[in-house]
Each structure stands twice: as C-alpha cells, then as structure tokens.
Amino acid sequence: QVQLVESGGGVVQPGRSLRLSCAASGFIFSNNAMNWVRQAPGKGLEWVAYISYDGNNKYYADSVKGRFTISRDNSKKKLYLQMNSLRAEDTAVFYCVRERMALRGCLDIWGQGTMVTVSS
Amino acid sequence: QSVLTQPPSVSGAPGQRVTISCTGSSSNIGTHSDVHWYQHFPGTAPKLLIYGNNNRPSGVPDRFSGSKSGTSASLAITGLQAEDEADYYCQSYDSSLSGSVVFGGGTKVTVL
C-alpha cells in the first residue's frame, strides 16, 4: 500500500544539524511533488518545505529559509530534509507528505512523523 | 498566528450537526486556490478529509462535507459520532507567499 516512513529524528543541541529521511513505497515516487510539514508541541500544523516531482523547484517557509534544505532521490524513492542551525523553536514532529498529482497544495498521503527535539 | 483563521473549538452532541469555519483573504481562499481539510488524531498521521473544496477521498463518510464562498470555507459534520472527536485543519495555497501552503490554526471537535 501507499506508505511514507520518516526517520532521522532525535535530540540535538541548538546550533547543530540533523538530516531527516523519508522512504516512499506503493506509488511512483517520481510522479509526485513532496512536502515537509511539522507540528510543534501543543501547536497546529506548519508547512515547512516543498519540492517538485523532478527536484527542480523548491520552496521554504520563512521560518526555515536559509537553514533547511529539501532534496529528493527519485532512484531511491527517498525525500530528505537537511536541517542546520537548529533552534529550540524547531522542536516538533516532522511529517513527510505527498502532494496529490494535478492538485497543487493538496496533501493526500502523510507519514507517521519523526520527532525532533532541540535542547541543550 | 495562522494565515487562515479557525475557531479553536466546537462541540456537539451525538447526532447533531457542527460546522467549522475557515477564514482567509484575497491572496489565498479568495483566489482560485482550493481549500482542503484534514482530520488529525493526536499521535497519528493527519488524514486528508476533503479536497478541492468539497470532494471526499474514497473511504471518507458522506457525513463530512465542505464548501467555499468568497474568502471563507467551511467543514460540516452531520450526524456527529464519538469517533469524530479530533482536530480539524483547513489548508490552502497563498499566492503572496512563494510556494506557500498555508494552514488554519486547527479546531478541536468535542463530542459531548
């Protein structure tokens, strides 16, 4: 079945880096744009980053621009989020999310999430 | 503060109808941008509930419906059931924010 599985979360000190991965299965990964969405403790959902199906277009939320980098490897069916200069306010569950084909912004498949805690 | 505005909470008795509003602006809902709705049980993956303003993915009960008018949208749940107690988020696309998907702050639905 269609599935997204995130990994790479953990506890990291402020200012350090972390790389999240997302393994896709059950669909043609190279056909879909992908996103990262996060949810801080007690807060709502916040969109983080977008990458087009071919990796040529990338967009970021202002809160992470210049610190986070989204990328993908279609041959491995994997999505990544490189997070640098982490801050306490980046503490959140990070979700890997598929965008529905031909419907920009419709997030139709979500992973279970991976927790990132930024703390000294 | 979220770009889209939702009430923090709504409640209703089993069998009742509840609605959740989602207010945006001329740069998001007020454009041709679609509104989508998600259901989220804490600790699990959010689930697409309504897409393209008023369409239900396969498997979503027909007691869930969506609508859009002007710069606002709404989600209605008719015949409220205990299993509907969850957080609900509206989401759209904002043309003034490069590439930006925008969410509402979320609404907690409580079944009394």
Q: How distant is the Cα of B14 from the closest Cα of chain A, in angstroms?
A: 26
Of the residues A39, A70, A96, A106, the best mutation for testing chain B's interface (the one with the most B CB atoms within 10 Å of its CB) is A106
Q: What is the mean pLDDT of residues B76-91?
A: 97
Query: In the prediction, which pLDDT does B39 show?
Result: 98
Q: Give mean pLDDT, residues B24-45.
A: 91
Contact B49, B88 (CB under 8 A): yes
Measuring CA to CA, how many Å separate A80 from each of A32, A107, B60? 15, 17, 30
Query: How confident is residue B32, by pLDDT bands cut at 50, 70 and 90?
Result: confident
Report which DSSP code applies to A86.
Answer: -
Which residues of chain B have a CB within 8 Å of the CB of A46? 103
**Under an 8 A CB cutoff, do B103 and A44 touch?**
yes
B34/chain A closest Cα distance in angstroms: 8
* pLDDT tens-digit map of B93-106: 887 777 689 999 99
3-state SS assignment for residue A120: coil
Nearest to B51 among A58, A106, A111 (CB): A106
Average pLDDT score over chain B:
94
Task: State the pLDDT at residue B33.
Answer: 86
Confidence category of residue A51, pLDDT binned at 50, 70, 90:
very high
Q: Does B93 touch chain A (CB under 8 A)?
A: yes
- Confidence bin at B27 (pLDDT 50/70/90): confident
Q: Of B76, B67, B89, which Cα lies nearest the Cα of B6?
A: B89
